[in-house]
Structure 1
């Protein structure tokens, strides 16, 4: 394998560096000896969280513009569950561009008949459902449940309060028939393993799923 494997660039389109650091920690096991570097990037001029349609559209432009500056990348990942800018970036670069909702949902479909999604806030759900219809995956959706109390994106993956809220949402989805649960926010990654152990069903971190797809795209082509 070449020592010059192009890096996988994982972009956090919000400005919360704590979220980027948590994503990077969750991806540590994907940093393979001799494999591509995994860079985690923060958009410092973004909002503290991608919560509204305006945030998504603004982030899409930033991500598309950033993609043009990274022809050196082996893959680019839009690491927000609303995956802003994926279509735009694909029109501007030949580098593979992956959105974490696509990756998380496809991983869930490969692991279970029905899947569920935990959203960080109710307002995100209509946006997520539109994309599921585009994927044609809505027929296998057991349901999408938002956390019952407000939490920040950064808080959603750490602390007992957020873990309890995730357990509540995950238990509801399991009762609805979900055999796999996708974390509907990149910030939730810190709770993935514990949540899976407690729920007893598959729990998917979509950023990890996206990096796995990126590795599959890059590694076979390396000498």
Structure 2
């Protein structure tokens, strides 16, 4: 069997700690005999992709990084705003998976209605715009942000934000969500403890995206 190139998991921000957390989150997908999974940081980016300008600038950097790695068999964009997703799909025939799209599809496979915990209130409008593009608004129970905006680093630190994320998740359950998506790649370290606390499935969208990319690579798609 021809060896498969690595799956690139691109963190479009410059926070190396977030990239390291992503690498731990996708460890279960590093299969013996399967493709390598590389988690990469874009050093030129800000610490978080928080504004629409950040998204546009990160899109170009993400596309440049992917172009520089023709050896990769698939590309995962590990940011819930999915910077560069449409651009990359015009520039490569390799599978390109955005974590928001993958997280939503995974959540809809687990429950009739899903909710999303955003990292900050300002991120919600662009997330909703993408859900409208996907045609899944009727399945959305709601998207809420914690009581105060979090940095990407805080979002993955239980001592800094677990209570805030649990409060947001509880509100989503009350709104009818049967599954919850973590709407920031930095939240990956808290998936398990949030799921235990809330009593419903909690989806790490980066894991969902890597699972989708890995499936396509293994079947030759």
* Interval of TM-score (by shorter of Structure 1 and Structure 2): over 0.9
Could you tell me how far apart the structure 2 residues matched to 1:126 and 1:142 are?
A: 15
**Which 4+ stretches in 1 moved above 4 angstroms?**
none
CA contact (8 A) 1:71 1:95 kept: no
- Name 1:101's counterpart in structure 2: 100
- The yes-or-no answer on 1:70 pairing with 2:57 is no
Counterpart of 1:37? Answer: 36
| Cα-to-partner distance string for 1:164-207 (whole Å, 9 max, x where unaligned) | 11100000000111000000000000000111111010100000
Any gaps of 5 or more consecutive residues in structure 2? none
Provide the C-alpha distance between the structure 1 equivalents of 2:174 and 2:107, rounded to a whole number of angstroms. Answer: 17
Deviations 1:70-114 (CA, angstroms, capped at 9, x unpaired): 221111011100000000011111111110000000101111100
| 2:181 corresponds to | 182
Which whole-Å CA distance do the structure 1 matches of 2:121 and 2:154 have between them?
A: 17
Alignment of 1:142-161 (within 5 A): 142-161=141-160
Q: CA deviation at 1:66?
A: 1.8
Residue 46 of structure 2 corresponds to residue 47 of structure 1: yes
In 1, Cα distance between the equivalents of 2:216 and 2:149?
37
Partner secondary structure for residue 41 of structure 1? strand
Distance 2:220 2:158 in 1: 41
Q: Distance in 2 between matches of 1:160 and 1:17?
A: 19
The aligned runs of 1:121-140 (5 Å cut-off) are 121-140=120-139
* Residue 146 (structure 1) shift: 0.3
Where 1:108 maps in the other structure, the secondary structure is helix
2:193 is the alignment partner of 1:194: yes
| Secondary structure, aligned partner of 1:193 | helix
Secondary structure class of the residue paired with 1:46:
coil
Alignment partner of 1:113 is 2:112: yes
Q: Is 2:11–2:19's contact at 8 Å kept on the other side of the alignment?
A: yes
What number of residue pairs does the alignment pair up? 221
99-108 or 155-164, larger mean C-alpha shift: 155-164
Q: How far apart, in 2, do the equivalents of 1:159 and 1:118 lie?
A: 15
Instruction: Supply the distance in 2 between the matched residues of 1:173 and 1:75 (Cα, whole angstroms).
Output: 33
